[in-house]
Copies of this chain bind each other. A is one copy, B any other.
């Protein structure tokens, strides 16, 4: 008999009909007359209850049906007399596909700490929490692609291995095939990268933006969605060495178009989660964060506040609030400042614009005032910066001035500079850290718990 997924069966009304389900045993309980098996197959957070009458299934028959075992059950669908579940399956045949020795299987029904589950990341997708998080992650990834596809954007696969170190967004991992113990050397003792695989030093990308701009200057509107890397020794709940990033880049967009798109995009994603992940969100809302769903709805229904960096600094200075770090025009805002603006002052998502040139990247469009650039950061409650973006400097001379100021060698990004030489146009873009989005949508507190196999300093297991 063909297998039916539990998510479909739970919504079926074909009572009296036989079905086959396969999945992993969450719990077994019962008495001498009957056993109740809660079975989950990953298609939904909800289990189907299997009812096995002692008249058909002896204790011996069911001895291997323990938590974590994989079983195949054929049975008759009936309305459930129990509360909280619409249907149950009266077992006719139960086959154990794979046992799970209760003495050694680590995922017993008692709750586990998230810290412990990180150590068994190969098994944690079988828990309610990680089943929910990973299903939501799937839906968010699909929503990203659907949003841009529906608008006619082109998904551009920018390179992961890069020979350019001009991005300047963070410390990089080197990619090499040279003999690690005895690398070929130049006469001056430095490593001779000409003998490396790519004939030069290469690293893992920290951003696909520069290549994304090349795409936008030909295809109009593009986006990237892929892994990015930071070799920073940050052991925090907000940092990963490997994470996924979404970077749209649009020809002919100014900073206002860019803000409109960012706000529409975030609202679309959150609404998509509310529409498509309700069971999983309700579970997370109940177990981890009682305000989760309310917070998601609030973001969808609230226009984001748009305010300049300069105004924000004034608000902070006048706030009377005691901050650990002093706020001065020209310094970068700290997390405590961003949270004050979002959570206390405006009480909604905030888009800060027009930051001082000195604290922002070289490619941002220079304002007329000679000291600020057309940057835009979207700040979210509980998260801080969720999106960073800008209108790009499309003027060749102005861009070149900044390239030189920040110490990038012209010859390292000749190809990037050429977009401003040949058919340049106003354009804009932004970056969304996918795991930051996941933190917001799931309410989880640690970024290691919203990616299947986290990579952090001293940890690359599985």
Contacts and interface: CB of A to CB of B under 8 A. Distances in A.
A421 B69 CA distance: 9
A425 B152 contact: no
Each complex incorporates copies of this chain amounting to 2
A397 interface: no
A164 B160 CA distance: 20
Interface string A415-438: 110111111111000000000000
A458 interface: yes
Given A159-B455, A161-B460, A227-B226, A422 B100 contact: yes
A354 to B, nearest CB: 23
Interface string A392-407: 0010000000000000
A460 to B, nearest CB: 4
A418 B155 contact: no
A190 B197 contact: no
Interface in A129-181: 130-131, 134-135, 137-138, 141-142, 145, 149, 152-164, 171, 173-178, 180-181
B452 A215 contact: yes
Which residue, A105, A218, A461, A462, has most C-beta atoms of chain B within 10 A? A218
Given A22-B251, A159-B455, A175-B175, A220 B5 contact: yes
A457 interface: yes
Contact of A176 (B41, B173, B197, B418): B173
Contact of A418 (B122, B226, B424): B122
A199 B458 contact: yes
15 contacts: A5-B152, A7-B152, A24-B218, A42-B219, A104-B421, A123-B218, A134-B219, A138-B156, A159-B460, A160-B242, A175-B175, A178-B180, A181-B190, A198-B460, A199-B458
A162 B459 CA distance: 10
B156 A3 contact: no
A296 interface: no
Given A5-B152, A161-B229, A163-B462, 16 more contacts: A97-B426, A98-B425, A99-B422, A99-B423, A104-B421, A126-B423, A135-B219, A137-B157, A138-B155, A157-B227, A159-B452, A162-B460, A163-B461, A175-B204, A180-B183, A197-B233
A125 B197 contact: no
A130 to B, nearest CB: 8
Contacts of A135: 154, 219
A308 B264 CA distance: 52
A284 interface: no
A34 interface: no
B181 A214 contact: no
Contacts of A220: 5, 23, 41-43
Interface string A188-220: 011100000111101010000001001101111
Contact of A241 (B152, B161, B460): B161
Contacts of A231: 177, 197
A428 to B, nearest CB: 13
A333 to B, nearest CB: 29
A156 B135 CA distance: 9
A268 interface: no
Nearest to A190: B181
Nearest to A179: B191
Nearest to A186: B181
Nearest to A424: B98
Contacts of A217: 125-126
Of A122, A204, A423, the most chain B CB neighbours within 10 A belong to: A423
A340 to B, nearest CB: 33
Contacts of A199: 457-460
Contacts of A145: 141-142, 145
Interface in A44-82: 68-70, 72
